[in-house]
Amino acid sequence: MKYSFFLAALAVMISLAACDKPAANSAAPAVVVVPGPAGAPGPAGATGSEGATGATGAGVAVPGPAGATGATGATGNDGVAGADGSKGDTGKTGGDTVVVVPAQK
């Protein structure tokens, strides 16, 4: 009985080793392309041609709305006093001018 466990393990090992193992069909590994280091940059390209001029606003079919009224301007400074007027003619004497003074109450 001492060797019974050992003999059983040996029999299992021999029976497993005698089995025909099927060949493993492994697919070929996929090829991964890895880019190398970047080279020196190329020269600058030629300058592009100038673009066409845009249309002016005169040909617009529907003009935009009028702008808002501007703010009131600041009050101006006072003007300089005018020159004295010319002297009037001397009054005529005599005549039939009547002055009516109202009566006091």
The CA–CA distances, whole Å, from 41 to 10, 44, 45 equal: 70, 9, 12
Cα separation, 4 vs 10, in Å, equals 10
Average pLDDT over residues 7-19: 80
Distance, in Å, from the CA atom of 90 to the CA atom of 41, rounded to the nearest integer, reads: 105
Round to whole Å and give the CA distance between 12 and 14. 6
- pLDDT over threshold 80, residue 40: yes
Gyration radius (Cα) of the chain, Å: 61
Report field, pTM of the whole predicted structure over 0.85: no
Candidate from 28-37, 38-47, 62-71, 80-89 with smallest mean pLDDT: 28-37
| Sign of the alpha-carbon dihedral angle for 67, 68, 69, 70 | negative
